[in-house]
């Protein structure tokens, strides 16, 4: 499977902008890995992606050719 294009909705994009660069890349990396090999699911199915290292997750919606990142929750110490 080739994977899916990742698109960030406005709220998720703004959350990423507030985080440090290393934390931002950690979250983007986890989402990209998931999008390259998502579990089988139907169109508009929602998933939670837990970010390794804890204290962060992303809510995504799987669509026909893309993964839309809806919400990112992260704690940065």
Question: What does each of the 77 residues of the chain score in pLDDT, given as a tens digit?
Answer: 457 889 999 999 999 999 999 999 999 999 999 888 888 877 788 999 999 877 899 999 988 888 899 999 998 77
The alpha carbon of 25 is separated from its chain's Cα centroid by a whole number of angstroms, namely 11
pTM score: 0.85
Q: What is the CATH number of domain 5-74?
A: 3.30.2310.20
CB 57 within 8 A of CB 51: yes
């Amino acid at each position: 499977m080739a994977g899916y294009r990742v698109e960030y909705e406005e709220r998720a994009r703004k959350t990423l902008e507030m985080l440090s660069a290393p934390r931002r890349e950690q979250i983007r990396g986890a989402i990209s890995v998931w999008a390259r090999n998502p579990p089988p699911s139907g169109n508009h199915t929602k998933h939670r992606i837990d970010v390794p290292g804890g204290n962060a997750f992303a809510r995504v919606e799987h669509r026909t050719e893309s993964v839309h990142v809806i919400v990112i929750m992260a704690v940065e110490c």
